[in-house]
Amino acid sequence: MNLPPSPVRPAAKGAAIKWTAGTLTYTTAGLVALFCWLLWGDFAWSMRDRSVPAIIQILFKRFEASDTLVGVLTGSLPPILSMVVGPVISYKSDRHRGRWGRRIPFLLIPTPIIVASMIGVCFSAQLGGLLRRGLGEQALSVNVSVLVFLGLFWTLFEFGCITANSVFGALVNDVVPKPVLGRFFAMFRALSLIAGIVFNYWMIAKAEVHYIAFFLCIAALYGVGFTLMCLNVKEGEYPPPPEPAPDAPNGFFAAASDYFRNCFGKPYYLWFFAMMASAALANGPVNVFALFYAQSVAMSMADYGKCLALTYVISLVLAYPLGALADRFHPLRVSLVLLGLYIGVGVWGGLYARNSANFSIAFVAHGVLTGAYLTASASMGQKLLPSARFAELMSASGIVTCLCSAAIAPCMGVVLDRTAHCYHYTFYAGSILAVAAVALNWAMYVKFAALGGVKKYAAPE
């Protein structure tokens, strides 16, 4: 494909150059323009991420999907796709060279897939009716015929999102000057939370009735907004992709064997992988089934949305102080405290969140502590892993987390189906996983201290 030249360009000849990113140079005005386009694309991205999964869950429940099926589709499918699609797309993008750059093609190509999948969800009921008539009305129930298409379009949606997500952060890293990356990601986080506040406070209560209009609007916003961002952000020039070493293993299986030996051959990093996975899993049981939990205690969608909005507002206020605490005391220490607090929230929620009022308290506390942990631990990998092997070790950590996530959600769904949907068990499950996370976090801290601690730590190679 041929694209017109991108409007966001390096600084013009003779202009005062203030910022550089690789071969790209920016004046202050050019940097502001870059930020505006990237943040516009991120707003479209955030509205998609904050709205579509919630509405899909509402539709799954409307058409009587079991908790096990919901756990598989929303809890297992995304991490499985991430393990398969993410590494391949990242590898291809790193080595791609073309007129569009190495990231933009992998952001533009999935965009129509994502838009088409959202439009497809709108008409799943009609398509289900056609399928049922084609197979014979005795072959499938009305709900099952609709769930077939909801599951199909949800899978396509996740495939497109994971493909784009694999390189979106890399695009930012390539085009945004390093001295302002921290501030830029802070804007990203703030914009994502604001999108969550807007959707959950004002829109989610209407989404169940007007879901077709919502999906069409979000599809239009994302399709137009993200495409405009891609067309208006210019990538720089990149050096040729690295040539394989003469003694490098040949073939996929040899390369995979070498990768797993390098990543999983040192016990210290196995502890790191386990710690990161357990902490990531602790909030999963509540997150996956929170909407159904709210419905089970007769909470309206309007009130549920306001609880989420309140969670995001508090997270927005706490983001900078938590980042500062992590910088001063180390992410391991701050995360240990937050995970300990989460154990208490899980136990309290399991015991008392049996009505709308108590659920709202437990749910907001769960959301705030989950967000606090994500903020405090954001630099965990950079603090504990060697820079020379950072990318491959983080990808290995992601594989472990994805494998565990893929198992936890459907297991929780089976438990809920067999206990007549006692959703307070999700808080108990979260607290048990948090206990494991605290134990692993503490074990990692002991090993970290033995290697020099905050002042003299050196990551083992």
**Would you say 183 and 281 are in contact if contact means Cβ atoms under 8 Å apart?**
no
Compute the C-alpha angle 180/185/187, nearest 5°: 95
Indicate where the chain has its CATH 1.20.1250.20 domain(s): 1-235, 260-453
CB atoms within 10 A of CB 243: 7
Instruction: Quote the CA–CA distance of 273 and 285 in Å, as a whole number.
Output: 20
pLDDT of residue 258: 66
pTM attached to this predicted model: 0.71
Q: Which helix (H) or strand (E) holds 301?
A: helix 301-329
Tokens of 123: 């008409």
Model confidence pLDDT, tens digit, residues 371-426: 889 888 877 876 787 755 665 677 778 788 888 887 888 888 888 988 888 999 99
SS3 letters across 1-44: CCCCCCCECCCCCCCCCCEEECCEEECHHHHHHHHHHHHHHHHH
Model confidence pLDDT, tens digit, residues 162-204: 888 878 877 887 888 877 766 676 677 778 888 888 887 777 7
260-453 placed in CATH 1.10.3720.10: no
> In 71-94, which positions are buried (b, 16+ CB within 10 angstroms) versus exposed (e)?
bbbbbbbbbbbbbebbbebbeebe
Instruction: Tell how far CA 413 is from the center of its chain.
Output: 21
Rounded to the nearest 10 degrees, what angle do helices 267-282 and 284-296 cross at?
A: 10
* Burial bucket for residue 131 (CB in 10 Å: 0-12, 13-18, 19+): middle
Q: Identify the CATH number of the domain defined by range 1-235.
A: 1.20.1250.20
Closest to 374 in 3D by CA, of 193, 200, 138, 229: 193
The ranges of the chain with pLDDT < 70 are 1-17, 181-183, 185-186, 242-256, 258-259, 382, 387-392
Q: Which helix (H) or strand (E) holds 309?
A: helix 301-329
